[in-house]
Amino acid sequence: MSSVHSANTVRIEIAAHCIESALAAQAGGADRVELFSNPLEGGVTPSEGLIAGARRALKIPLHVMIRPRGGDFHYSNHELEVMRNDIAVAQRLGANGVVFGLVNVDGMVDVVRTRELVNLAKPLAVTFHRAFDLCRDLHRAFEDVISCGADRVLTSGGEETALKGIPVLAKLVGIAAGQIGIAAAGGIRPENAQEIVSQTGVQEVHAGLRSTLTSPMGFRNEKVRFGTAQLSEYERMVVTEQDVRQFVQQLGRI
């Protein structure tokens, strides 16, 4: 399948969990930043301080993840109230959009609660994130998300990566027919971005592009660990301007 549009129309969103990475995304040519915390759990809602700091630092649009915890996307009433409050914080601090997803225990979109949060978030843009990829029936889930009024779906086509999900992504683009945006996500890198775009017709891509940075600390106590993650206290993940710029270049943007 050939591309249905020019690559230079593709909008690029970079996921960032710190202001340093958000600024690198902007400097590298990204169109938008998705802000979150705790990348080792797949991302959760960033703090009010982080949202405020990113909003002050960025000139490009900022979308904020609304996810009260790691794990699945079936939330209790208490967690739903947290999500309502976090959406209000994102609105107050000047975010341009919010990103969330809710799924029932049967593996289908939680339409009632999703519609409630979409309406609550207005006029912010709403992205239904990759909770979509965990749904039982992606075609039905897609129709449900559209009916809830979300502006876009973030998806790998239900596969581990967007590259593997190319056939499904292409079908979703055809079904969408302008009703909703589709942002391809999942393992998208400079070396495969062009193929994913050209084979699916998506007009938005979402990438993490995280790399590991070694701490500058001179003194280190390697005996102490504070988490269960694969990184030590003397390593952290960041997005670099160089990686973003390379990604943008591969899509013919600069």
Mean predicted confidence (pLDDT) in 138-145: 96
Judge whether residue 7 has pLDDT over 50.
no
Mean pLDDT of the region 103-132: 97
Q: Flag whether pLDDT at 194 surpasses 50.
A: yes
Q: How confident is the model at residue 176 (pLDDT cuts 50, 70, 90)?
A: very high
Residues 22-71: tens digit of each pLDDT: 999 999 999 999 999 999 889 999 999 999 999 999 999 999 999 999 99
User: Quick one: which of 15, 32, 27, 24 has its CA closest to 67?
Assistant: 15
Mean pLDDT, residues 121-130 taken together = 97
Q: Look at residue 149 and tell me whether its pLDDT is greater than 50.
A: yes
Q: Global pTM?
A: 0.92
Q: Which pLDDT value is given to residue 214?
A: 85
Q: What percent of the chain has a predicted confidence (pLDDT) above 90? A: 81
Q: Say what the pLDDT of residue 6 is.
A: 40
pLDDT, residue 253, reads 64
Share above pLDDT 70 across residues of the chain, in percent, rounded to a whole number: 95
The predicted model gives 74-94 an average pLDDT of 98
Kindly state the average pLDDT of the residues 174-202: 95
3 state SS for the chain: CCCCCCHHHCEEEEEECCHHHHHHHHHHCCCEEEECECHHHCCECCCHHHHHHHHHHCCCCEEEECCCCCCCCCCCHHHHHHHHHHHHHHHHCCCCEEEECCECCCCCECHHHHHHHHHHHCCCEEEECHHHHHCCCHHHHHHHHHHHCCCEEEECCCCCCCCCCHHHHHHHHHHHCCCCEEEECCCCCCCCHHHHHHHHCCCEEEECCEEEEECCCCCCCCCCCCCCCCCCCCEEEEECHHHHHHHHHHCCCC
pLDDT tier for residue 162 given thresholds of 50, 70 and 90: very high
- The whole-number pLDDT of residue 60 equals 98
Q: What is the mean pLDDT of residues 149-154?
A: 97
C-alpha 27/C-alpha 33 separation (Å) is 11
Query: What average pLDDT does the chain have?
Result: 93
- Rounded CA-CA distance 225/217 in Å is 15
Note the pLDDT of residue 99.
Answer: 98
Mean pLDDT (whole number) for 81-90: 98
- Residue-wise pLDDT for 208-248, tens only, equals 998 888 888 888 888 888 766 677 888 888 999 999 999 99
Confidence of residue 91 (pLDDT cuts 50, 70, 90): very high
